Amino acid sequence: MAQIPFTVSARAARLIGRENVAHSDGAIIELVKNCYDADADFSLVIVNPIKRTIIIYDNGVGMSSKDIKDNWMNIGTDNKETDFKSKRGRVKAGAKGIGRFALDRLGQKCTMYTTKDSNGIGCKWFANWNDFEKKSTSINQVFAKLDEIGKLNVFEQLKKETNNQSILKLIGNRSNKSGTLLKIEFTRDEWDDELCDFIAHSLQVLTPPDGQNKFDIFFFNERVTGKYGKIQNDSYNDYDYKIVATYKKNGTRDLKIVFHRNEFDFNQIDDAFFQREEMREFPYDKTTFKKERFTINTNFYELIGGFRELEKDNLSDTIGDFTFTLYYFKLGSNDSIFKNKSFDTAIRRKWAKKFSGIKLYRDNFRVRPYGETETASYDWLLLGERQGKNPAGASRLDFMIKPNQVAGTISFSRTSELFLVDKSGREGLIENKTFELFKNLLEGIISKLEKDRSTIFNNLQLYNKDAEKDDAAEEEALNIVEEDNEDENTETTKRKNKTLKSAVKSQKIKIEQREDELVLSRAMASAGILIASFSHEFHSIKNKLNSRATNLRNNLLPLLPESKVKNLKNINNPYHLISQLKELDDKIKQWIDFSIMLTKKDRRRSKKINLRDYFNEFNNNWKKKLSDRGVGLNITYETEKAKDYALKIIELDLDTIFDNLLTNSIEAFQRNGFKGNRIIKIHLKKVDGDVEFDYRDSGPGISKDIKKKEEIFKAFVTTKRDNTGKEVGNGLGMWLLKSSVDYNKGSAKLLTPEIGFQIKIYLKHCE
């Protein structure tokens, strides 16, 4: 058998160069990274739109003819993967060995001058990228030219390429004997002002802000004087909140988050505000509030509630060291009751348009395209989708930030983060399980900021809200509106205006709260309407599900006796497959019955309900589903008197409460690592005019990673995750339960039993 080698067409160079690098900024960035990898102090980029040339110069270590032959001319070389640290200790930004093909994206021809020898022996390398377009040509039939040059001074070569004295003076005293100059000719793009501005901005966010970078970048346009120069990577200093989360890899997955609150004017806040129960606790107490800075310690499992029980293959161990710096800045002013510091809205909006977004930096260089404005990757954490599902205001405890209100940097290193790997095109990271877990951790960190801010806003609103005064103002405002009296003195008019303003503010808050709830209600109502609309079709489907598996089995038996297939594996045994089909049909039938029952009109009207009758039906509806999962349900009553167990309530509200509790218990029993009896108990008794429902199960209970158990009542809080920490539950079940209880003037109290989950619900008894 003959062995034949693969051949590579010369066109492959164009595929990994010109066609693989989508935009010219990506090509420039790849070449600037090469300057950094060469231990240069700076990289100089000069474009000349008239001559159609680009010059890239650095004062790094340069290359010898051997380096050019062995590495520069070797496509896909692994020298930066095996030798990933420079002599100065830098972790090299490049690793794929294809960055030099970015030259093809920028222009048709390239000449390189480089030297590393202290005695000045250098090299001149030349390539015509059009040579790679010749038909029927293998890549090994295309040649570059290489000549050695004695006493080569690369800076002197730069002087020949530009006579711009301001440029030469700026970097002249930083030139070395070694270095590299690339001259790209016949540029493929039209380097107009718009493209130059875009490149300058791309270079501005290439390295992290806040003085983290030790590498300078210069950019000039020969056609325009004074506009560009040294690239300044602006630090963020006008923000409402800043948090810095730092993780150093450890077995317990602990990390710390440093907060800086810059939003509130402490001097405007009454001392009495800090007497509120929540505001007496760290980190909301008066002393901490005044300092504006504090630190909290947390871990992966608290940030991603429920992940501890679901983690597989020790996935969190693949996350290495990282630092996440996040800035939050609102883009509009708040009501005066929130005691905000002043800021210039116009300046913030202008800055946010240019610099907002959360960007990734590996070894001091940006990993594109994450956080890039006006691209699909701008909101790569899907903060907009998350906030769109729950557009609550800042004073709501389930507040979520918008993507255009944050800027951030995530810094990590390839030396510790081995599982966050570039795609071959250098545009983004491979989206493996580690990357998914990483995103979920970042979302958990962001939620800490959201919780801190909304807790303060919520307490400020409640502190400034007097329910009785609000109601009185609203009532008086209605009377004022209905008056027909235009002959009033100035003092009376002022008083009425003040009353109207107070009433409008009160109504505004109430309307905002109702609108937040309506968004969720509309979504759930739509699902209910859809089910109701197809109820006739569902009945027809249900009837077919009753018999189709049995009919299939009966029709098959005369043709194929079971004895002939009994030795087959289950996957090949038609009778085993029919049994599985019947089990699935039973579950679908049960779901249809359940859904149709919930949409019946009589369940949506308030009426007197005998709880014994209700729970008899409830037990029958759930019996099959519970039995299939090995779950026992025990409903008991304190007394035998039927009159002690009656409510006037919308039956659908009772369904919402107890269907969600049973669903949560069933899912808890199925958590990884849980072993033991699966028992649910509901005990009813009459207590001081209320009916007390004592609900408990024998499962694993509320996740230990939820510090305050009452948080499960918030919308979108869920511990149902997949094995990368991604939410798979909608987080609405317990919120709906609490909303139903509150609507019926009841109360719900979570308890902490030694084993399992327990909640007591109180609803007004009806004689």
Contact 283, 297 (CB under 8 A): no
> What's the pLDDT at 681?
95
Q: Which of 202-211, 505-514, 554-563 has the lowest mean pLDDT?
A: 505-514
Q: Which of 231-235, 601-605, 698-702 has the lowest mean pLDDT?
A: 601-605
Alpha helices in 117-225 (DSSP H): 154-161, 165-172, 193-204
Share of the chain above pLDDT 90, in %: 26
From 184, 204, 230, give the residue that closes a domain: 230
DSSP state of 20: T
Res. 529 pLDDT band, cuts 50 70 90 = very low
Residue 280 has pLDDT above 80, yes or no: yes
Answer yes or no: is 313 within a domain. Answer: yes
Q: In this predicted model, which residue has the larger pLDDT, 417 or 431?
A: 431
* Cα(414)–Cα(419) distance, integer angstroms: 9
Q: Which domain holds residue 567?
A: 534-599
pLDDT digits (tens, 9 = 90+) for 2-23: 666 666 665 665 665 555 666 7
* Cα(358)–Cα(370) distance, integer angstroms: 7
Answer yes or no: is 587 within a domain. Answer: yes
Beta bridge partners of 243: 259, 326
**133/277 same-domain check:** no
CB-based contacts of 430-436 (< 8 A; 24+ apart in sequence):
433/315, 433/318, 433/723, 433/724, 434/315, 434/318, 434/319, 436/724, 436/725, 436/726
**166/111 same-domain check:** yes
Residue 113 has pLDDT above 80, yes or no: yes
**18/35 same-domain check:** yes
From 202, 230, 258, give the residue that closes a domain: 230
Residue 540 has pLDDT above 70, yes or no: no
Mean pLDDT over 556-585 rounds to 84
Mean pLDDT over 318-334 rounds to 88
**224/264 same-domain check:** no
**588/667 same-domain check:** no
**198/287 same-domain check:** no
Contacts of 757 (CB under 8 A, 6+ apart): 664, 665, 668, 696, 697, 699, 701, 702
DSSP state of 747: E
Which of 321, 414, 400, 406 has the alpha carbon at shortest distance from 370? 406
Mean pLDDT over 702-715 rounds to 79
Res. 448 pLDDT band, cuts 50 70 90 = very high
pLDDT digits (tens, 9 = 90+) for 285-320: 999 999 999 999 999 988 988 778 777 778 889 999
Structure tokens belonging to residue 192: 């107009």
* Cα(16)–Cα(629) distance, integer angstroms: 54
**247/141 same-domain check:** no
Contact 138, 166 (CB under 8 A): no
DSSP state of 71: I
From 584, 599, 614, give the residue that closes a domain: 599
Answer yes or no: is 521 within a domain. Answer: no
Mean pLDDT over 460-470 rounds to 67
> What's the pLDDT at 284?
94
> What's the pLDDT at 693?
94
Beta bridge partners of 693: 684, 761
**213/317 same-domain check:** no
**224/294 same-domain check:** no
* Cα(153)–Cα(751) distance, integer angstroms: 78
**312/414 same-domain check:** yes
Q: Which of 83-92, 233-242, 513-522, 670-679 has the lowest mean pLDDT?
A: 513-522
Measure the CA angle with vertex 657, ends 656 and 659; round to 5°: 65
Mean pLDDT over 627-635 rounds to 90
The CATH number covering residue 631 comes to 3.30.565.10
Rounded mean pLDDT of the chain? 81
**How deeply is 341 buried, as exposed, middle or buried, from its count of CB atoms within 10 A (0-12, 13-18, 19+)?**
exposed
Answer yes or no: is 3 within a domain. Answer: no
Q: In this predicted model, which residue has the larger pLDDT, 526 or 713?
A: 713
Measure the CA angle with vertex 113, ends 110 and 119; round to 5°: 170
> What's the pLDDT at 510?
57
Q: In this predicted model, which residue has the larger pLDDT, 540 or 224?
A: 224
**21/59 same-domain check:** yes
Res. 526 pLDDT band, cuts 50 70 90 = very low
pLDDT digits (tens, 9 = 90+) for 142-175: 788 999 988 888 998 999 999 888 888 888 777 7
* Cα(367)–Cα(381) distance, integer angstroms: 15
Which of 418, 385, 414 has the alpha carbon at shortest distance from 402? 385
Mean pLDDT over 352-364 rounds to 86
First to last CA, the chain: 94
User: Is the pTM value of this prediction over 0.85?
Assistant: no
Cα Rg of the chain, angstroms: 34
* Cα(493)–Cα(660) distance, integer angstroms: 53
CA separation (Å) from 728 to 388, 646, 713, 723?
17, 37, 17, 10
Burial code (b: 16+ CB inside 10 Å, e: under 16) for 695-706 equals bbbbbbbbbebb
Q: Which of 415-424, 620-629, 721-730 has the lowest mean pLDDT?
A: 721-730
Answer yes or no: is 630 within a domain. Answer: yes
Q: In this predicted model, which residue has the larger pLDDT, 260 or 25?
A: 260
Answer yes or no: is 669 within a domain. Answer: yes
Q: Which of 85-99, 130-144, 401-415, 550-564 has the lowest mean pLDDT?
A: 85-99
Q: Which residue has the tokens 């209605």?
A: 478
Mean pLDDT over 360-367 rounds to 85
Give the max Cα distance, the chain.
110
> What's the pLDDT at 481?
59
Contact 61, 38 (CB under 8 A): yes
Mean pLDDT over 66-83 rounds to 72
- Between the ranges 177-186, 336-345, 457-466, 504-513, where is the mean pLDDT highest? 177-186
Residue 215 has pLDDT above 90, yes or no: no
- Give the three-state DSSP class for 733: helix
- Number of domains making up the chain: 5
Res. 513 pLDDT band, cuts 50 70 90 = low
Burial code (b: 16+ CB inside 10 Å, e: under 16) for 401-414 equals bbbbbbbbbbbbeb
**298/438 same-domain check:** yes
> What's the pLDDT at 191?
92
Res. 468 pLDDT band, cuts 50 70 90 = very low
Answer yes or no: is 4 within a domain. Answer: no
Q: In this predicted model, which residue has the larger pLDDT, 279 or 83?
A: 279
Answer yes or no: is 527 within a domain. Answer: no
The amino acid at residue 334 is N
Contacts of 543 (CB under 8 A, 6+ apart): none
Residue 81 has pLDDT above 60, yes or no: no
